[in-house]
Structure 1
Amino acid sequence: MIQPVAERTPAGTSYLVTGQGQPVVLIHGVGLNKEMWGGQIVGLANDFRVIAYDMLGHGQSHLPAADTPLEGYADQLAELLDHLQIPQATVIGFSMGGLVARAFALNYPQRLSALVVLNSVFNRSPEQSAGVIARAAQAAEQGPDANVDAALDRWFSREYKAANPAQVAAIRQVLASNDPQGYHTTYSLFATQDMYRESDLGSIQVPTLIATGELDQGSTPAMTRQLAARIPGAQSVVLAEQRHMMPVEAPREVNKMLLDFLSHARTLTESAKGIVA
């Protein structure tokens, strides 16, 4: 596969495109960037046109205004699709990217062909909310790397960290190098918007997969099941023994799950259009 070269939209969104076929968009989490999706880009590009981009305030994309709401992040994705002349796409969001994917599904339903939410949040308990809000405040005061060690301990297994020190160090560097304002704006939304338009989730009418890892402390299996229960026909999957960064730590397992779902979603879509009896 030819290594894709980053490009930019007129509004300043940095993105990569590779592969051929139906478009699949990948949205990273807070403090990360499009590079986190290397394993999925390789795994999906033989069958799909894969688009990975940097969220507002991350990577090489432009900064959001300090008061940008979650809808602004959905608008960024719509502008990217307009730039690429893509009327509809499957959207896969990880963690904060899962919130953006949900916002996109609710605000641009006509642009969505299927939805995947990985390791994201829904209906936090008061204790969970207090914890993430405290971490957001700490990062606002001390910078994006204020709680990086604790984050990496939550995100990765000890075995993976020990076997892949260079990759973990690279992710640490990405987290530490974030623009403070862009990081704070995004993290504040991640900390407070887990129930974003929750009463409207039943309006999502596309094939949907909600998945997390069995050992994900912040994006728990209970959250995954509760969110899936709000979306008609949504599948919920919990990958055994996986933590938060399962797209990075277990790309083959995650890719198999995604490819199985995308094949199922394509069949459902074609059947609905009368192409398949």
Structure 2
Amino acid sequence: MIAFSQKGTGQALILIHGFCESKEMWKTFSDHLSKSYQVFCPDLPGFGESPLDQTQISLEETAVLLQEWMEENHIHHPFIIGHSLGGYVTLALAELMGQELKAIGLFHSTAFADDEEKKKTRNKTIDFVKKNGVDKFIDSFVPPLFSEQHRASQSEKIEELISFGKRSSKQGILAFIAAMRDRKDRFDVWKTFQGPKLMIAGDLDPAVKVESSRLHQPFGTLYHEMIGVGHMGMFEQQEEALRTIEKFLSDRSG
């Protein structure tokens, strides 16, 4: 079962949250964008209100679950924008569904697979979660996602995201760390997807290096780099992020 929120009418827009996040993170974006679009925000399995009944899951399996969810809810030719892990899922959906998607967007995400150093970090994270549990992990995981200069001003949002993150199941966290570690390179999917493509990057992103993001630019439709922003640009520079998404969508609607 995929839990989700839905608001607005018209062209379908799906916003997919990242690792240890949930549909609530998109509330401001959903409230605003639903004036022009029908906005869906699903909880990925193991996060928010969506259960995960298995100990392992791949991005390909996640994409199939979301495809089935779209069919059940009569969501056709959507725009899909994914944050971080949500971007990896978006690319898996693009590979699975192709031109059934109207457009795709990566928000602090990448089409590249993990390198060996990143895989080692993922393995250490798995060990940490197994040893210390969800709450301690989330407490240490969320604040560094924000650039240092924004942590004080975003302290309330950080606490809110920590609260949402602690609803994540241990099983879901462990399954998706492994899924991210083992995901395949989808840069060819990014290059060859025929619909419009958006990328939003942060020049201070600790999780997706900006140099990696820039390699996507020649193959995208709209590339936007946010200055002084870490991995959470939808909060660190909310208005700028929203304007960028609005521009991308409005230029391609109809």
TM-score (norm 2): 0.90
Q: Which amino acid aligns with 2:120?
A: A
> 1:37–1:248: 8 Å Cα contact kept in structure 2?
no
* Matching residue of 1:253: 240
**Shift in Å at residue 174 of structure 1?**
2.1
Q: Could you tell me how far apart the structure 1 residues matched to 2:17 and 2:140 are? A: 19
Helix, strand or coil at the partner of 2:102: strand
Deviations 1:152-197 (A, max 9, x none): 332123454323433322211222232111111112212332x434
Give unpaired runs (5+ residues) of structure 1.
1-11, 271-277
Q: Could you tell me how far apart the structure 2 residues matched to 1:161 and 1:207 are? A: 33
**Shift in Å at residue 70 of structure 1?**
0.9
* Matching residue of 2:42: 53
Distance 1:62 1:149, change over 3 A: closer
Helix, strand or coil at the partner of 2:251: helix
Q: Which amino acid aligns with 1:239?
A: M
* Matching residue of 1:24: 13
Does residue 22 of structure 2 align to residue 33 of structure 1?
yes
> 1:31–1:144: 8 Å Cα contact kept in structure 2?
no
Does residue 252 of structure 2 align to residue 262 of structure 1?
no
Helix, strand or coil at the partner of 2:15: strand
TM-score (norm 1): 0.83
Does residue 152 of structure 2 align to residue 165 of structure 1?
no
* Matching residue of 1:213: 202
Does residue 72 of structure 2 align to residue 87 of structure 1?
no
Deviations 1:83-115 (A, max 9, x none): 221221000100000000000000111320000
The root-mean-square deviation of aligned C-alpha atoms, in Å, is 2.1
Deviations 1:239-261 (A, max 9, x none): 11111111123221111000111
* Matching residue of 2:225: 238
- Give % identity: 25
* Matching residue of 1:128: 118
Distance 1:201 1:250, change over 3 A: closer
* Matching residue of 1:3: none
The 10-residue stretch of structure 1 (19-28 or 122-131) with the greater mean CA deviation from structure 2: 122-131
Aligned length, in residue pairs? 253
Larger Rg: 1
> 1:136–1:191: 8 Å Cα contact kept in structure 2?
no
> 1:36–1:248: 8 Å Cα contact kept in structure 2?
no
**Shift in Å at residue 199 of structure 1?**
4.0
Give unpaired runs (5+ residues) of structure 2.
none
The 10-residue stretch of structure 1 (59-68 or 34-43) with the greater mean CA deviation from structure 2: 59-68
Distance 1:221 1:159, change over 3 A: closer
Distance 1:64 1:25, change over 3 A: farther
* Matching residue of 1:9: none
Q: Could you tell me how far apart the structure 2 residues matched to 1:255 and 1:64 are? A: 35
Q: Select the residue among 146, 154, 169 that pairs with 1:179.
A: 169
> 2:129–2:137: 8 Å Cα contact kept in structure 1?
yes
The 10-residue stretch of structure 1 (159-168 or 78-87) with the greater mean CA deviation from structure 2: 159-168
Q: Which amino acid aligns with 1:223?
A: S
Q: Could you tell me how far apart the structure 1 residues matched to 2:163 and 2:206 are? A: 23
> 2:7–2:34: 8 Å Cα contact kept in structure 1?
yes
Q: Could you tell me how far apart the structure 2 residues matched to 1:240 and 1:26 are? A: 23
**Shift in Å at residue 36 of structure 1?**
0.6
